[in-house]
Structure 1
Amino acid sequence: MKDVDASIKASEEIRSACLSFRSRRAARIITRAYDDALRPLGLQAPQLTLLSAIAAAGLKGQRVPVLVDVLAIDPTTISRNLKQLEKGGLAEVVSGPSDRRVRVVTLTGKGREILAAALPLWRAAHRQVEERLGAKMAMHLAEALDGVARLGRDCRAPRERCLPDRG
């Protein structure tokens, strides 16, 4: 019985104070709105995010390590997600021109078409999320998320040290 009480107390503290719990819950709710909007194209929000990050480099392509940094996703997850895009004919991964160990990703013609077709759907979802949150909350949320991203952007240390002390 004591174990049950301790686990309930731990659960209450985690749910009420944990930023990871709260941010993941909020991310799932927000992502669901984008996923619903993108469904007619057979896309999900994480795929759109990856397509957008690849497209930012234009026809020269984006190096995989840059995608890892920009999206703050571990290399294994990027590789798995890129395989899905390749399988769908949306992206192509090749060896880098100067260093064959570096992989470079470009969008295919189909990938560029899907990204362009996704834009109005994304805009509608974005507008819906902003309307539900309210302009002020949406702005504060965007600023807070950008602040967290800035803190972790230069993180090269083990995961537990990714958010440096502010002191």
Structure 2
Amino acid sequence: MKNSKSSLQDTDDASELGLLGEVACTNTALRRAARRLGNLYDEALAPVSLKATQIAMLAQISRFPGADGHAGPTLQELAGRLAIQMSAISHAMKPLVRDSIVELQQDALDKRTKHCVLTPKGEQLLADALVLWTAANERVEKVLGPSSAALLRQLADQIASDEFLTEFNHPTAE
């Protein structure tokens, strides 16, 4: 037989769980949507054996030179552009380097710094993948409708912004 203190705790826990069921969780909804979209893009990119996250990395490497004029961004710059931690970039980069898609070149001035550069194989894979990605992106745009797709991107960019992070961490008085 449970003591009365334990029964009260069970009742409080159940009440809290009931309350959580009534609260709209933006994080859960966004993660669920991101997983669905990620899976759709990954399926579209299967013919080139790359994931959408890898294509995003390759596109960022291709699109942006390093801040100091080098051929490609540093790992730190790449992490900042993709809004992910350095450990995640390092982990994600391993198969791309292993498969000779990306080359990490040591900085001439700071030997600890590495720049990401696409190899010729990486450039070709990115070109092939962008054809597949474009088709998937057009299907998403068609299903959502252009205005909803634009709003979704706008909100996602807002959430990923430094301004959002600053406001979240240091809310202004209302």
Shorter-chain TM range is 0.7 to 0.9
Structure-2 change in CA distance of 1:84 and 1:6 (3 Å): farther
1:8 deviates by 3.4
Q: Percent identity?
A: 32
Q: 1:116 aligns with which of 95, 120, 127?
A: 127
TM-score, L = length of structure 2:
0.81
1:39 aligns with 2:46: yes
Of 42, 52, 62, the residue aligned with 2:73 is: 62
Give per-residue Cα distances to partners, 1:36-83, cap 9 Å, x unaligned: 110011011000001111111358111111111100000000000011
Which protein shows a greater Rg?
A: 2
The residue type equivalent to 1:71 in the other structure is L
Asked if 1:22 corresponds to 2:29, the answer is: yes
TM-score, normalised with respect to structure 1: 0.84
CA contact (8 A) 2:42 2:51 kept: yes
1:139 and 2:150 matched: yes
Change in 2 beyond 3 A, CA 1:8/1:121: same
Structure-2 residue corresponding to 1:2:
11
Partner of 1:99, secondary structure, is: coil
Kindly state the Cα deviation for residue 5 of structure 1 after the two structures are TM-superposed: 2.1
Aligned positions, number = 160
- Aligned 8 A contact 2:158 2:164 in 1: no
Between the aligned partners of 2:15 and 2:105, the Cα distance in structure 1 is 52
RMSD: 2.3
Say if 1:60 and 1:149 are closer, same or farther in 2 by CA, change over 3 A.
Answer: same
In structure 2, the partner of 1:158 is none
Residue 62 of structure 1: SS of its match in structure 2? coil
- What is the CA–CA distance in structure 2 between the aligned matches of 1:61 and 1:153, rounded to whole Å? 28
Contact 1:33 1:129 in 2 (8 A): no
Stretches of structure 1 that go unaligned for 5 or more consecutive residues are 156-160
